[in-house]
Structure 1
Amino acid sequence: KTQAAVDGKYRNLFEAAVKGDWKFAEPILDVDPEAVAATVMTVRGKPMTVLEVAIMTTHDQFVENLVKLPQKFSVDILERALVNAASRGRIRMVNALVDKVDAASESIGSALRQALSYAPMRKEVIWSLVKRMKGGPTKPIMVKLVMAGHLDIVLYLAPQYGYSTTSKNNTKIELLKDLVKMDSYFYSGARFTFLENCIYRCIPLCLVDTSFDNPKDRKIVQVSPALKRFKIWLWNHATKPAHFIKRIGESKLTHKYSLEFANLALSKKEIGTITPETLKLTSEIVLEAAYRGNSEIVKLCLKNFPELMWDKKIAKTLIQEVVNGRQVELFRLANTHLSDGNFTKNGLMKVMTKWTPRCASPDVSGAAFLMQRELQWYKV
């Protein structure tokens, strides 16, 4: 028995949907309006309508024409269609379908999860769904947004996130713990070359374009649409001959959003009452950041929670991680607490003499230069 079977009555309509031939499909639907919601195909026992077939075969215009028909689709069909369109990253289909479903239903959240799982780089699709979603986002959605690098969307959703739980003061810190694991989302983990660093410092963030409007910038866009179009034109033409400049500019924007979220998550206003659970989470973030050489997060955590460095266990582990990774900047920060008896000089020397793959800096090539860097490290 075949896994896919087409209903003979609707074969012509099915073939028109597969080809995206609206001129052929329109007369059929005029004669038989009920065919819009009919099962034209069955796949592994699951019914499929002409709308779903058109989405599967990625015919945007065909889907838009179907949605505009006076015949009403059932809620179930529309929700399935939206999820399928989102998983394929089809912005035209998503825009055509998203207004047809109830924003308060689970369908938009389901579509957003599918888009983040199967089309995480189709940011315009994700923005379209996020802007129409009612209610706060779930933790899986926020984690997927972080992993995909959409930190501007995370910041947009942050005010709505975490206030449906009893431990609301730790929800954003838990998310920060996931963010810290993404090395390239922070400048200290980006590992740029000398030339890339120079370009990084020269690129103005105001010119970096993401090809669609951030809802926070709508007022600016409405006031000066010509300026917005000029900015997009300038950025695209400036980066067209050198794509690596665009990549560096987008990285700089990601670093900005990452630090903004970290500042938000660790702010006193956001945390409220500091609990042992909060300190435990923050200490884990500090050690994870130190392991990855993320100096920005370590400094930020210790600035907001200075009491962590008076914990002997945390201070000792922090210094070990810093030394193992040969993180000079972080070592100077942590070294100020050595005199408190958290780590003896002999113990420090023992750690320093151990070699790990993390000791090899990515910007040092050759054994001779690596040896020179090691000797310099002992002078820190």
Structure 2
Amino acid sequence: MAAASSQALPQTPDDFSKYLPLYKAILAANWEEAQIFFNQDPAAIQSPLDNTLKTALHVGAKAGNASFMEKLVALLLEDEELGPRDASRHTPLHIAARHGNIEVADILVRRNSNLLYLHNNNGLFPIHFAAMNNRKSKEVFLYFLGVTRDDEYGQPNPYAGPTGVSLLVELIANKFYDLALQLVIRYPDLGRQKTLVADISALEVIVVSDCYIINKHSLNFWQSFIYYCVSKAESITSTPIFHLITSLLQWLVGKSIVNKMVLHHQEVKLLKCLCDQLKTLNDTQVISLTEQALFDATSLDIWQVILNIAEAYPMSVYFKNSKVQNILHIAVENRSENVFNLVCGTNVLRNILLISSDINGNSVLHLAGKLAPPHKLNLVSGAALQMQLELQWFKEVKKITPSNYLLYQNKDDKTASMVFTEEHKELKEAGEKWMKDTATSCTIAAALIVTVVFAAAITVPGGNSGENGLPIFSNHNAFTIFAISNAASFFTSATSLLVFLSILTPCYAEEDFLYAIPTD
């Protein structure tokens, strides 16, 4: 690695100005201009072209022109270094993998397969960069998976230990769930370890990387039908048939929703596989791998993660975080409705978790009295509707709370009701103002409509007959339709006026937000 050691210290920026024409020629894949430069300065092929120490091979690997790269590699002698390192110790193969240039990568690998086993400053091999390639292409990773061996004599194993876990984590983070499942099945130990630098497990990454797990109960009829079709297609082992079914569904209902369903099923398979591997570990190992994932899943309301972890390790439902909060505490505090329903569906578990308090002496009902996180409040618009939602949540938690805990005080000597009142003071005031302003505006509009409709009712079109006093057009169908429509308008507008006036009259206690505005 003599060539690499000669690049240890970067040159000053002025030293690289002479290489600017070469840099541009490589990016433009202009071999004629590049060859002229190499003929004048043969050392330029391995010299750093910028202050990050990237060479012509690095720039060519990024540009991705296979024909140009073939000619560039051919200029090197057999004993010359094909793996120059930049300032971060990236080889050209790292760069080709990152940018998804498979043809360029193949040229480099055919010339020197040892490049597959050289890592950068962070211990990442080219296959790691293939997992997070800029093109989001599975084919790039599959190529590197096919050429990177785990038993190459005298070479490190990219699939072993924390390095392999980092590879699995990258696949999950980039939503290549099917490839991650293949990797876990091939190397089961990867699901039982954590990365070395970030100290994160595959389960934790599934939770925090914008996962695609779907709640089946929230799907409408057509979505449920698509879900069923995709689930059946996922069970088919024949890849062409699976692609045929998904392509047909994409044509029928749109690509976005079908892709989301497919990702969901792939992720569920991966989740179950990772959780099944927990059964072979001891308590300390399971806690290390699942504890943070469990708490994060509870906060984000991903109940499937909770269920799978609990099935593999039932004691996980009693884990407590640094605030001495169990999953029911966390679910209530973060308004995680699905996790809350999951816990409450098991009477024994619900009763055990309910009677626990956190480090500040807060019961589950105290945490229900706290203001919801902003992302949960913003699910509905308007302070009044947000206050109504908060009251509904508090009432639901209150229903399952034992009566002797309703007046239970925390370490600040406050009951749950006192916490709710204090936490929601500003929201209540904003809700009152919102309701009054909205009701006032609507009352004016309703009053105008009532006035116009009433005037239309007493002003008969065409006038009355001088003989009998009846409307002249009373025998016409159009007049009957007019009379009915006018009466309906008068009734509905008057009702609206009374409703809006009733909104203006309450004293706006907390309970009024439950009944003074619609619940749907």
TM-score scaled by length of structure 2? 0.54
CA offset at residue 256 of structure 1? 1.9
The residue type equivalent to 2:142 in the other structure is W
Q: Kindly report which structure 2 residues correspond to 1:1-380, keeping only aligned pairs within 5 A, or say none.
A: 2-6=14-18, 17-22=26-31, 24=32, 38-39=45-46, 42-44=49-51, 46=53, 48-49=55-56, 51-66=57-72, 72=78, 74-76=81-83, 80-102=91-113, 105-106=117-118, 110-116=125-131, 119=134, 121-135=136-150, 136=159, 138=163, 139-161=165-187, 163=189, 169-171=192-194, 174-188=201-215, 201=227, 204=230, 220=238, 238=251, 245-267=254-276, 271-279=279-287, 281-309=289-317, 316-335=325-344, 336=347, 337-340=349-352, 342-343=354-355, 347-357=363-373, 360=376, 364-367=380-383, 369-377=385-393, 378-379=395-396
| Contact 1:63–1:93 (8 Å) recurs in 2 | yes
CA 1:281–1:110: 2 relative to 1, 3 Å: closer
Does structure 2 conserve the Cα–Cα contact (< 8 Å) formed by 1:186 and 1:294?
Answer: yes
User: How many angstroms apart in 2 are the aligned matches of 1:70 and 1:288?
Assistant: 52
Contact (CA 8 Å) 2:194, 2:289: kept in 1 or not? no
CA deviation after TM superposition for structure 1 residue 207, in Å: 7.5
1:289 positional shift: 1.0
- Pair 1:228–1:96, CA change in 2 (3 A): farther
How much does 1:129 deviate? Answer: 1.8
What displacement does 1:291 show? Answer: 0.9
Deviations 1:111-162 (A, max 9, x none): 2334456727244323322332222151322222222222222212113546
Q: Which amino acid aligns with 1:357?
A: P
Give, in whole Å, the separation in 2 of the partners of 1:175 and 1:234: 33
Three-state SS of the structure 2 residue aligned to 1:320 is: helix
Partner Cα distance (1:347, 1:228) in 2: 50
Distance in 1 separating the partners of 2:307 and 2:100 = 38
Where 1:352 maps in the other structure, the secondary structure is helix
5+ residue gaps, structure 2, are 1-12, 151-158, 400-520
Instruction: Please say if residues 169 and 272 of structure 1, whose CA atoms lie closer than 8 Å, have aligned partners that are also in contact.
Output: no
Q: Deviations over 1:156-206 (max 9, x none)?
A: 211354649xxx845599221222122433225x9x997995686376368
- Provide the aligned length of Structure 1 versus Structure 2: 350
Corresponding position of 1:212: none
The question of whether the paired residues in 2 share the 8 Å contact of 1:120 and 1:148 is answered with no
Contact 2:278 2:286 in 1 (8 A): no
Residue 296 (structure 1) shift: 0.3
Structure number with higher helix proportion: 1
TM-score, normalised via structure 1 length: 0.70
Residue 259 of structure 1 deviates from its aligned partner by 1.9
Question: Rg bigger for which structure?
Answer: 2
How much has 1:325 moved relative to structure 2? 2.5
Contact 1:6 1:41 (C-alpha < 8 Å) held by counterparts: no
CA distance in 2, matches of 1:308, 1:348: 19
| Cα root mean square deviation, aligned | 4.7
Once the two structures are TM-superposed, the CA of residue 286 in structure 1 deviates from its matched residue by 1.9
Answer yes or no: is the 8 Å Cα contact 1:145–1:153 preserved in 2: yes
Give the secondary structure class of the aligned counterpart of 1:349: helix
- SS of the residue aligned with 2:113? coil
Name 1:214's counterpart in structure 2. Answer: none
What is the alpha-carbon distance in structure 2 between the residues aligned to residue 116 and residue 83 of structure 1? Answer: 11
Evaluate the alpha carbon distance shift between residue 235 and residue 69 of structure 1 in structure 2; reply closer, same or farther with a 3 A threshold: farther
